Amino acid sequence: MPTATAVAHPNIALCKYWGKRDRALNLPATPSLSLTLAPYATRTTVTWGADADEARLNGRIADGKEARRIFANLDLLDPHRPPCVVTSANNFPTAAGLASSSSGFAALVLAANAASGASRTIEELAVLARRGSGSATRSLFGGWAEWPMGARADGADSHGVPLAPADHWDVRMLVAVLQAGPKGTSSTDGMVHTQETSPYYPVWTEQAPADVVEARAAVLRRDIEALGAVMERSAMRMHASMLAADPPLCYWRAGTLAAVDAVKALRASGTGAWYTMDAGPNVKVLCAAADEEAVHAAIAAVSERVERLAPGGPARVE
Ligand code: 2P0
């Protein structure tokens, strides 16, 4: 049976996607901008043709909603597809705000496309990845990527686009892993709840595009202070929209704010470091490569586990 394997790195958004303008097509209510990060990676093998659909994730059989989400994505590739076997593993914690769905669906779409023998453009693959999980559309690209909202009703122009390759800028992203287990509220549920109940949501979506314009310019001229300022503002405004939901949604833990304080203290002492948080308690810290050790020492004082990440390459078929 035709089989293919693909590897993708997760990405962390510096300007956040939070909210959907079309739920069925998974179209975003905000544009976003991200950095794809190694050595974290998802490795996925798809066999196109089997007795029955089966997905094995990190060594266990996926069931229910999780399996449906995977096979619904393969149905989009080919509604007449044969049963498929999907085997996927992450080398980092799954579903804890470490962006596992971004690398997961990027690797799935790439492996399934290769296994099926179809030839699609990277834009077509990025649209399919978006349907699986929004952030995955950015993980097909290495380094710095954007995901514009797009204007078309069918979503064909809403997909990841490359901004600059991994070697454009030697930065680091350190992750204070405060909780490695799965989160309580999925990103999808969290953003739908926010858009349905938060009075701050319209303001969040209104100001988000300007952040992407500013972040893009900062990335292109390698201005980490300007990028760091936009990145923190985007993260805090996204979280403010959730905190104002009804009932309020808060992904932070006490350790989250301790790590944020450590970053602010570091900056006050003259070392450049900037934080961001996603749909989980972990804190990701951006810094210049030259400051990695100083930033690591400061974060390690408040977090038992600190991961070191650097810009990673595009998703690839092995
Ligand atoms: C992002 N997040 O831009 C934002 C910031 C989390 C916080 O994209 O519903 O798993 O599958 O499209 O991509 C995580 O949400 O959501 C995410 P769906 P996804 O990275």
> Measured in angstroms, how far is the CA atom of residue 178 from the centroid of ligand 1?
19
- What is the DSSP track for 40-69? --EEEEEEE--SS-EEEETTEE--HHHHHH
Residue 314, pLDDT above cutoff 80: yes
User: Is CATH 3.30.70.890 correct for 171-311?
Assistant: yes
Q: Where are the domains of the chain?
A: 3-167, 171-311
Residue 43, pLDDT above cutoff 70: yes
Quote the percentage of the chain above a pLDDT of 90: 94
CB of 26 closer than 6 A to ligand 1?
A: yes
Best substitution site from 133, 204, 277 to test ligand 1's pocket, by max atoms within 8 Å of Cβ?
133
pLDDT tens per residue, range 210-228: 999 999 999 999 999 999 9
SS (H, E, C) 229-294: HHHHHHHHHHHHHHHCCCCCCCCCCHHHHHHHHHHHHHHHCCCCCEEEECCCCCEEEEEEHHHHHH
Q: What is the CATH number of domain 3-167?
A: 3.30.230.10
Instruction: Please tell me the pTM assigned to this model.
Output: 0.96
Contacts of 200 (CB under 8 A, 6+ apart): 240, 241, 244
Residue 95, pLDDT above cutoff 70: no
Residue identified by tokens 């003259």 is: 270
User: Which atom of ligand 1 is nearest to 147's Cα?
Assistant: 3
d(CA 145, CA 157): 15
> Measured in angstroms, how far is the CA atom of residue 61 from the centroid of ligand 1?
24
pLDDT tens per residue, range 245-291: 999 999 999 999 999 999 999 999 999 999 999 999 999 999 999 99
Q: If you take atom 4 of ligand 1, which residue's CA is the nearest one? A: 17
